[in-house]
Copies of this chain bind each other. A is one copy, B any other.
């Protein structure tokens, strides 16, 4: 009952995606991501390789207790070992134990991998494919066959490669997924080979012909293009991962692929109302796997619809089509007017609107703000990446920045001078102790507070002292944590006397905000940014609470 132009999205973030260097998922992480993908309307979610590690087995067990709402969760496994009956193979047994409706089984398409990797002969590999699938079918499973190294295999020995697909079809595979495992293919090669396979399938005159799928890697920066071209040649399953996570250079990025397919080519991949959850899903997954989101990611990145420059901004406001390939809200993203020294009054107006602040173009404050902005950017401030600081600046000009606390100053003392022996060595293993002491003076409700704290380095000491002083008044501060800290030296010709610009990013687990500090003194610049980051977080939290209260009362 699926529409003519239906494509099936197959997510492998939990299996192939987790092969990315530096990414590791707990069972809990995997469950969270699976439920989020289920909400997004992804029809197939590859959960892992049961038996390959204990986590994956637990994941399937837990999902049996609390099943997903609509998605098929799929177990992944390899063909049986050479010369071993399928019914006695441990990896097949583990895949069956996951008790999923669908199993994805991968086999070798490339003769080189059969002889050099598996160290068996070509006909045994065909039996391995046939036997494994037939056994899974006997046990009631539906089978997706991943033809590993398909394209390299086909280019090297097309006759043999086609025989591997034949074995899978005879055994009852319902999907044949053509894999560019090494990520080396170019789009015109994918077009030619998928077309050939599709035509060959047609010549078989099968009653229930298997469908084709595509699985691509990004080693040539072409994973999205290669998947797209395969879809245009008739592949109806598209495999990929959220944010393109995966081994080496990653897998095909579903966050780009899905909108390309659905918004530009008219395929039906996700329920239309779900597509607007894409940007949030991308960010959610990056939070769960604890990797910084790529701000420049197509469609879903923070900068994907960011505009700078006055004329440019006024054009995009009059007609978004002039500088935007799609409507950002279609994928749940937003247009961002970037504040920079090229800013005109249009930028200021657009920013005020996005902050939910009322500001009229004729209000003299608008022009004063623009002047102030240009002046500060001349000094070396940069608000392009520090929107929270800019919002505070704007609120101040509009008398909408309540005083949470006032900063009076700080002292920092830092000692790296033990007795007798050198401490400056390449291996900073001696640095695990706190070596810095900070004292801060802040005022809340007109009352001066003096607090001191230690830290591993002066910036940490300052952060600790500041929280110590403020947490009695604002216990919600503990929800904020620093997620990024960037330092740049301006006017580098001035050497150590140059100005330092610090950008600090905070998060409360849901939202992120960035503030800026500037000073010739790196500690002061850091302190400014941290102070504003905490202030902004408090301000946002309070306004949310207030909005909720108003909503309840009305």
Residues 414-472 of A contacting B (Cβ, < 8 Å)? 414-418, 421-424, 426-428, 431, 435-436, 439, 441, 455-460, 462-463
Q: Which residue of B lies closest to A421 (CB)?
A: B408
CB nearest to A22 among chain B residues: B385
User: Looking across the interface, which residue of chain B has its beta carbon closest to that of A257?
Assistant: B221
Contact A496 B492 (CB under 8 A): no
In the bound complex, do residue B457 and residue A497 qualify as a contact, i.e. CB atoms below 8 Å apart?
yes
A40 CB–B CB distance under 8 Å: no
Q: Which of A194-242 contact B (CB under 8 A)?
A: 218-222, 224-225, 228-229, 232
Per the bound structure, the CA–CA distance linking A321 and B182 in Å amounts to 9
Smallest CB-CB separation from A189: which chain B residue? Answer: B264
Chain B residues within an 8 Å CB radius of A319: 112, 116
Enumerate chain B residues within 8 angstroms of A407, measured Cβ to Cβ.
422-424
A interface residues, how many (CB within 8 angstroms)? 133
Question: Judging by beta carbons under 8 Å apart, are B22 and A248 in contact?
Answer: no
Type the 1/0 row for A374-388, where 1 means its CB is closer than 8 Å to any CB of B.
001001011011000
Q: In the complex, are the beta carbons of B417 and A304 less than 8 A apart?
A: no
Q: How many whole Å from A187's CB to the nearest CB in chain B?
A: 6
- Return the contact of A248 from the options B21, B296, B423, B462 (Cβ within 8 A): B296
Total identical chains: 2
Q: Is B435 within 8 A of A422, CB to CB?
A: no
Report whether B416 and A413 are in contact in the complex, using a CB–CB cutoff of 8 Å: no
Q: Is the CB of B481 within 8 A of A485?
A: no
Residues of A within 8 A of B (CB): 19-22, 24, 26, 28, 110, 112-113, 116-117, 181-184, 186-188, 218-222, 224-225, 228-229, 232, 247-250, 253, 256-257, 259-260, 264-265, 290, 292, 295-299, 301, 303-306, 308, 311, 315, 318-319, 321-326, 338, 376, 379, 381-382, 384-385, 393, 406-418, 421-424, 426-428, 431, 435-436, 439, 441, 455-460, 462-463, 481-489, 492-493, 495-500, 518-524, 526-528, 530-531
